[in-house]
């Protein structure tokens, strides 16, 4: 790997991928949206190219002279005023990158960033893995569905000759969560006192630096056409809230075991407020509550065995997240 294109390079995970590539002396071309906030990659010795993944000509220009593509550009949102764009970017934008790579003769490998959202859920606390069939068609989450559909397109390109590996990040925490992402917003809302309720369910949390490392290991060691879950520790919602309070050095203060039916009713009202009045993302939505109530627990054995991925303690990443959010006045 001599020169890599990183789409979504100024984003949360993308900026860490860029930094770790530079540490390996890999040249980087960062593909970013016009007028995008570039604070995460400011001062780095990289080539910056502005463009839109929906612009085929710009995508063709972006892949010239690189041998590896890390495609991270995507919309990660629980609420949007117009859901059209999550499909345009996550599906059509990805398709443009994939076709450009497929038609080129100088691309050695594509690392395609999917999500654990594109992997099926299992009953109770049983762990999902890369082979768990997707079963969230009726959930009603545009993000989940767009990630699954785009992942399947990427795997289709791999079956037809493109050297492509898929990575499925879990819920990452750490510095540079500039948006912030819905994942980071969970921490902000807990610390700010906006969210004081836990409910049945859980997620898998992971340090964003480990997610970035997993991307690079996938480029180096991943098997063509395979998926790799990049997740670390499975925690219930209540456990996560306790960990956040502990990382901030304070006593836990939340209402445990609130019925999901109650929360779905409350978040329905919040969603209506967002739809018709505030035009800003709500604290959560009924769909997100229902999804997290599944216990989104995953098995990371494949990434550890085949990629050699090792993980930092999630407590460290939570502490670093909190320090970064406070420094940037988000808490």
Nearest to residue 151, comparing CAs of 185, 196, 188, 110?
110
What's the pLDDT at 78? 87
Mean pLDDT for 24-40 is 96
Lowest-pLDDT range of 96-105, 124-133, 269-278: 269-278
Q: Predicted confidence band at 294 (pLDDT cuts at 50, 70, 90)?
A: confident
Peptide bond into 180 cis (omega under 30): yes
Spatial CA neighbour of 32 closest among 24, 23, 22, 42: 42
What is the reported pLDDT for 199? 86
Statement: residue 87 has pLDDT above 90? yes
* The predicted structure's pLDDT at residue 262: 85
**What pLDDT, on a 0 to 100 scale, did the predictor assign at position 282?**
85
Encode pLDDT of 33-82 as tens digits. 999 999 999 999 999 999 999 999 999 999 999 999 999 999 998 899 99
Domains of the chain, earliest start first: 3-178+205-232+296-312 (3.40.50.720)
- Give the C-alpha separation, 90 to 87, whole Å: 5
Looking at residues 180-195, what average pLDDT do you find?
Answer: 92
Helix axes 314-327, 182-191, angle to 10 degrees: 80
pLDDT band of residue 306 (cuts 50, 70, 90) is very high
Please, what is the angle between helix 208-221 and helix 12-23, to 10°?
Answer: 60
Tens of pLDDT along 205-236? 999 999 999 999 999 999 999 999 999 999 99
pLDDT at 254 over 90: no
């Amino acid at each position: 790997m001599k020169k890599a294109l990183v789409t979504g390079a100024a984003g949360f995970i993308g900026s860490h991928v860029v930094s770790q590539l530079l540490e390996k002396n890999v040249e980087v071309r960062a593909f970013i949206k016009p007028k995008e906030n570039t604070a995460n990659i400011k001062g780095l010795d990289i080539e910056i190219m502005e463009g839109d993944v929906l612009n085929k000509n710009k995508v063709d220009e972006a892949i010239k002279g690189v041998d590896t593509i890390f495609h991270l550009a995507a919309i990660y949102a629980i609420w949007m005023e117009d859901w059209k764009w999550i499909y345009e970017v996550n599906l059509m934008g990805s398709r443009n990158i994939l076709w450009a790579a497929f038609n080129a003769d100088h691309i050695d490998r594509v690392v395609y960033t999917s999500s654990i959202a594109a992997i099926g859920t299992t009953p109770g606390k049983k762990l999902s893995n890369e082979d768990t069939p997707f079963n969230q068609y009726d959930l009603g989450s545009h993000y989940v569905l767009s990630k699954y559909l785009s992942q399947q397109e990427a795997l289709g390109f791999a079956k037809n000759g493109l050297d492509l590996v898929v990575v499925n990040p879990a819920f990452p925490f750490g510095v540079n969560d500039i948006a912030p992402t819905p994942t980071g917003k969970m921490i902000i809302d807990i610390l700010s006192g906006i969210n004081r309720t836990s409910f049945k369910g859980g997620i898998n949390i992971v340090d964003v630096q480990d997610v970035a490392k997993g991307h690079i290991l996938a480029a180096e060691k991943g098997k063509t056409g395979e998926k790799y879950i990049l997740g670390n520790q499975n925690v219930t919602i209540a456990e996560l809230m306790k960990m956040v309070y502990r990382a901030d050095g304070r006593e836990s203060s939340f209402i445990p075991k609130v019925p999901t039916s109650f929360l779905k009713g409350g978040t329905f009202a919040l969603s209506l407020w967002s739809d018709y009045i505030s035009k800003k993302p709500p604290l959560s939505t009924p769909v997100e509550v229902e999804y997290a109530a599944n216990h989104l627990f995953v098995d990371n054995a494949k990434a550890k065995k085949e990629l050699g991925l090792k993980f930092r303690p999630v407590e460290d990443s939570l502490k670093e997240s909190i320090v970064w959010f406070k420094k940037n006045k988000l808490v």
